[in-house]
Structure 1
Amino acid sequence: MEHKDNRYTISGTDIEEVKRKNGQSGMSYNEAIEWMAKTTGGRGTAIYSDTNMEEVKKQNQSVQDYNKNKA
């Protein structure tokens, strides 16, 4: 059985329908990993984080300096 219409696979699957359903299925794997990294601080997900590490270090140092001077 030969299919000349590119809308269907050899087994008869409607490619456009699959694409439409995939578009409605929610986040992709990479989107989910990025979301978890940004909302939970997940381990091993630093590449997805938008945290400025140098700024965090400065803030931590400021707090430590303040606590030393207060004591």
Structure 2
Amino acid sequence: MKSGARLVVIERLLPEHATDDPAAVMLDLHMMAITGGKARTESEIRALIGDAGLSPADLSATRTGLSLIAATRP
């Protein structure tokens, strides 16, 4: 990515506490069992974005339960 480029990730984030959204936790279990994937909390996504050399910008929740996480390349 060039400097100033913007990345938007569309993701259903896990709650920080599993009891806050049991459906999201079930989705995480499904992803791990079927695809080997992993759902993440907001803090985990922000850390992953930072580890990739990007700067987390905005996070917007949608009515569908998905979140739009924007990141930019410095």
TM-score when scaled to structure 2?
0.26
Q: Which structure features the higher share of strand residues?
A: 2
Which structure is higher in RCO with an 8 Å CA cutoff and minimum separation 6? 2
TM-score when scaled to structure 1?
0.26
